[in-house]
Amino acid sequence: MFARPFTTRPIRGVRVTSRVGSSRALRNEPRPSRHEVNEVDIPVPWGKVTGKLWGSREKQPILAMHGWQDNAASFDNLAPLLLRNAPVLAIDLPGHGPSSWLPPGLMYTEIVYFLLIKRIQKYFGWRRIKLMGHSLSAMTAYWYAGIFPEDLRYVIALDVYKFPSIPATAYCALFKNGVNMFFKTEENSGVQPRYTYDELIEKGMAGYANTVSDMDETAYKILMSRGSTQEEDGKYVVNRDPRLRGLPIHSLIEQEYQKEYARSITCPYLIIKGSDFYIEKEEEFHEVLDVMKSVNNNVYLKALPVSKATHHFHLTHAEETAAIINPFLEKYN
């Protein structure tokens, strides 16, 4: 555990751990870092939120939040390439990686992650947050920026930036389906399956087979270096809470609500887009973005200059991603 800073924004007293060691599925190492790298535990009422800190403990870091069912290793390739004077604290969302699971009976929804942003800000005493989010966390960052614009120094959104817009006529059926899925998942959350390392990777990669994600085996092994634990018998279990198999349902938001959030956002905002619009309609993406730009002169949309660099481009094409982020950091960090 590390001590709470009361009046300063830097992270002080970071606890260095051996969490990532021989008991982990480390068959593929992330790229070497120019930064010092430390493990971090943040106390929360239900246990702890874990994370990795690249860079100085004496400067306020960028708070990096991964996507649904990923973990902090999602930033293992990108964080070392960001500016040396821009530390990165990548956290494992509740129920992901080594972070504590929510108490039994509770559902993982975006409100959990929304409140976590505020909780971490309060814990470290940061006046304004430097926030980077991928996928689900990018959507949550957009929501947070619309509600607490005064809390944010800037936002970097990877691939998506807002929740998909849901027509009001679809709300009831989607919400009902989400609740039913939650209870079904809860009922089936018994003993965690155990896999050989090869089975672990094969099963995980099969889950990406029919998606637009550019996840490859090398990148997936990096995720599993933090997303799995090797047991005494040599087999591996996935650290992720099985309840996360249920889709989040809080973010069923109409397009007009999305625009209202956009009108409230005042901080510099960098959106980096992959090569595929698979989560939402492209016209809805740009319609809300135009509203953001109409009230905020510091909103930027950048396309990754790589064909077929889709949802996990920050992990699979880290150098190209960093080349877009670093000029933004030079201006606003």
Show which residues are catalytic.
135
DSSP state of 165: B
Residue 31: alpha-carbon gap to chain centroid: 19
Integer Rg of the chain from CA: 19
Give residues with Cβ within 8 angstroms of 199, minimum separation 6: none
Tokens of 161: 């930036």
* CA neighbor of 67 nearest in space, from 215, 209, 195, 188: 215
From 110, 145, 162, select the one nearest 273 (Cα to Cα): 162
**DSSP code, position 246:** S
Please tell me whether residue 170 adopts helix, strand or coil conformation: helix
d(CA 174, CA 164): 13
